[in-house]
């Protein structure tokens, strides 16, 4: 293994050049495993926004970088009304976001394991994470640097892939896990749900909402072929926000009641602005889309309508209960075949820096739901 080198796609700067970095294959340390990536995909929202200089790169996000840090890096606009309120601590005084490794969605096979870490069982946890061995195919959460041949991962952030689940399906474990957690708190039998945005997350949300017995699944999406996919996956109504007033259409569909839950999966100021009007009294808004730009909304309606607003989050550390239980349930769901994952994968490429460039160009033209890279060709 030492004779080979690791090849990773690196984004050199916002709106900048991609390059293939060659470096020695790393050795796993205590509690770590070395994973050879088999399948990885691009997040059309956060990865594209990183490329455009709006969203923090995921490796820096995990270190605490937030969107206003990126706005400072790109140059705060003179008319930014929030700038005077930015915290005095500057992330950029300590870290620079570029160059950055990309890729936080994917799976692979364990090729080497470091020494085991001492097992610490947190309060409320009955057992430590399951043991793994070389040769196991695994999903990784969180994954950093998935657009590369090899990554180091923490052993307690892995989920085993069942033998009958394909690499491509397992490689979409992360976005499915995101929406599993978002829908389990917002989608209930017999209720009405509105989903804003029919990208990969929104379309996964449609499928999960249907499985959870939601009555009316209303999807707003400006691209016609994506609206058609939403209908295929179980949406009962679709709205074109370029020609229709989304709030008024939802009122018509629900006889003025609007929705019990609203899933914002677009991350745009335009969709965020309408959220309080789409949600009924004591309803729940889940902000899934990570746009990175400030948004104007009728904030007082959260008070007057007793709304709950939550980010798309779930426990990451053992002390918070850990992400493993949700990871296990998500992988079990994928294994059942009840999700139409193949229809989400609109583009497949062998991994190369040229194909990474091509994929981002396709995403910017709204031609992609999910682009998957294979590393075993």
Alpha-carbon span 374 to 38, nearest angstrom:
6
pLDDT for res 320: 42
Residue ranges and CATH numbers for the domains of the chain are 5-172+341-374 (3.90.180.10), 176-311 (3.40.50.720)
Alpha-carbon span 26 to 344, nearest angstrom:
33
CB atoms closer than 10 angstroms to residue 4:
10
pLDDT for res 317: 44
Question: What sign results for the dihedral spanned by CA atoms 296, 181, 176, 143?
Answer: positive
Task: Please give the model's pTM, rounded to 2 decimal places.
Answer: 0.93
CB contact set of 179 (below 8 Å; sequence gap of 6+): 201, 204, 205, 208, 288
138-173, pLDDT tens digit by residue?
A: 999 889 999 999 999 999 889 999 999 999 999 999
Low-confidence spans in the chain with pLDDT less than 50: 1-2, 123, 317-321
327-336, pLDDT tens digit by residue?
A: 899 999 999 9
């Amino acid at each position: 293994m030492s004779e080979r080198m690791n090849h990773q796609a690196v984004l050199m700067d916002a709106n900048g050049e991609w390059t293939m970095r060659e470096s020695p294959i790393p050795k796993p340390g205590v509690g770590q495993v070395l994973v050879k990536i088999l399948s990885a995909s691009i997040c059309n929202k956060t990865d594209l926004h990183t490329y455009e200089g709006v969203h923090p790169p995921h490796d820096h996000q995990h270190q605490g970088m937030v969107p206003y840090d990126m706005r400072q890096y790109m140059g705060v606009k003179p008319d930014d009304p929030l700038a005077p309120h930015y915290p005095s601590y500057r992330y950029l005084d300590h870290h620079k976001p570029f160059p950055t490794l990309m890729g936080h969605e994917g799976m692979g096979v364990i090729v080497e394991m470091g020494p085991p870490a001492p097992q610490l069982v947190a309060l409320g946890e009955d057992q430590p994470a399951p043991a793994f061995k070389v040769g196991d195919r695994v999903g990784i959460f969180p994954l950093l640097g998935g657009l590369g041949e090899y990554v180091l991962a923490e052993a307690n952030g892995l989920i085993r892939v069942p033998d009958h689940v394909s690499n491509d399906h397992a490689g979409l474990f992360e976005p499915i896990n995101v929406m599993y957690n978002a829908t389990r708190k917002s989608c209930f039998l017999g209720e009405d749900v509105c989903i804003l945005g029919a990208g990969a997350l929104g379309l996964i949300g449609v499928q999960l909402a249907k499985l959870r017995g939601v009555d009316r699944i209303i999807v707003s999406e400006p691209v016609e072929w994506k609206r058609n996919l939403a209908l295929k996956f179980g949406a009962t109504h679709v709205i074109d926000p370029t020609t229709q007033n989304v709030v008024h259409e939802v009122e018509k569909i629900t006889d003025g009641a609007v929705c019990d839950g609203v899933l914002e999966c677009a991350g745009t100021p335009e969709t965020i602005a309408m959220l309080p009007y789409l949600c009924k009294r004591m309803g729940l808004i889940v902000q899934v889309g990570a746009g990175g730009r400030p948004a104007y909304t009728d904030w007082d309606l959260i008070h007057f309508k007793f709304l709950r607003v939550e980010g798309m989050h779930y426990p990451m550390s053992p002390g918070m209960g850990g992400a493993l239980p949700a990871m296990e349930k998500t992988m079990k769901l994928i294994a059942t075949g009840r999700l139409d994952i193949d229809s989400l994968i609109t583009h497949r490429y062998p991994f190369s820096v040229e194909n990474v460039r091509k994929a981002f160009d396709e995403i910017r033209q709204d031609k992609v739901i999910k682009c998957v890279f294979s590393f075993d060709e």
